[in-house]
Structure 1
Amino acid sequence: MIVLGWREWLALPDLGLARVRAKVDSGARTSALHVDEQWRFVERGAPWVGFRLTPGRAHAGVVEAAAPVLDEREVVDSGGRRSRRVFLRTRLCLAGREREIEINLTDRRGMLFPMLLGRSALDSAFMVDPARSFLHGRPPANPRP
């Protein structure tokens, strides 16, 4: 099993995100990605979600992506507030491993990390050492497709 720190760099290459700072949170069941804006559309008869985000500093640029909608569920945040969120499946690259994970899209504008990596993404592959951080460095600037 690979040990992660409480914060790590990861990549979501299918969404065009080469480097994203994430808080690794084994107390959160699901993973969440900050989006500035999202919209729904239909592609070949199936529901999709398009979204726009600024993954790092404002000068780093805006990323626009789209993915099929996996599900829509109620999520309770750490403050006890309920909201209905869109979920999608995407490829995670972290610590030299790749795996498919579910993430939900939400507004994390007031948070320090644009991504929260929850325990369902860690399952059977990663352990967390809360005393350490950024154990695996930054992913390469250009993830492979």
Structure 2
Amino acid sequence: MKREKFIIGKTDKADFPDFNLSGVKVKIDTGAYTSTIHCNEIWEEENELKVVLLSPQHLQYTGEIITFKDYSLKKVRSSSGQSQIRYKVKGTITLFGKTFNTEFTLSHRDKMKYPVLLGRKLLNNNFLVDTSKKNLSHSQTH
């Protein structure tokens, strides 16, 4: 039985229950495979990855240190063709009132308007993208 897909616009706002974040601006990026979230600080300590998500100028910034025991490294190619190694973690995202498990690479996106990009790994099987729309999930749930 096929699952109904949600129609998502080019941008939205999402909640990240595992990261204690809500109403964070996200941009849909069908060119990216994995989703990416902005990290202000990131370090390894005693076989754990510690991160502070977003930056102080983001309204949703908490300054909270989030610890991951399960993480890995992933080679990512940017839209400009450059490769970089990023940390990859698992987490949840809530859109349209439904929570999805997915993976995020951690990147410094301080200069970007959207601190989160949602890639195909999350979008496939769950969403259809209508680039003429925006904030479809957020307007339905808030």
Q: TM-score range by the shorter chain?
A: 0.7 to 0.9
Label 1:8 to 1:81 Cα distance change in 2 as closer, same or farther (>3 A): same
CA root-mean-square deviation: 1.9
| TM-score, L = length of structure 1 | 0.84
Label 1:55 to 1:13 Cα distance change in 2 as closer, same or farther (>3 A): farther
* Counterpart AA for 1:26: T
Aligned length: 136
Partner of 1:38: helix, strand, or coil? Answer: strand
Q: Which residue of 2 aligns with 1:22?
A: 26
Q: Is the 8 Å Cα contact of residues 24 and 60 (structure 2) preserved in structure 1?
A: no
Residue ranges of structure 2 left out of the alignment (5+ in a row): none
Deviation of the 1:15 alpha carbon: 1.0
**1:75-127 Cα distance to aligned partner (Å, 9 max, x none):** 11112221111101111111111111000101011111000000101121111
Alignment of 1:26-41 (within 5 A): 26-41=30-45
| TM-score, L = length of structure 2 | 0.86
Deviation of the 1:63 alpha carbon: 3.0
Paired with 1:128 and 1:56, the residues of 2 have a C-alpha distance of 30
Partner of 1:23: helix, strand, or coil? Answer: strand
Q: Which residue of 2 aligns with 1:50?
A: 50
Dislocated runs of 4+, deviation >6 Å: none
Alignment of 1:1-145 (within 5 A): 1-42=5-46, 47-54=47-54, 57-58=57-58, 61-64=61-64, 65-137=66-138
Deviation of the 1:56 alpha carbon: 7.5
Partner of 2:85: helix, strand, or coil? Answer: strand
Partner of 1:137: helix, strand, or coil? Answer: helix
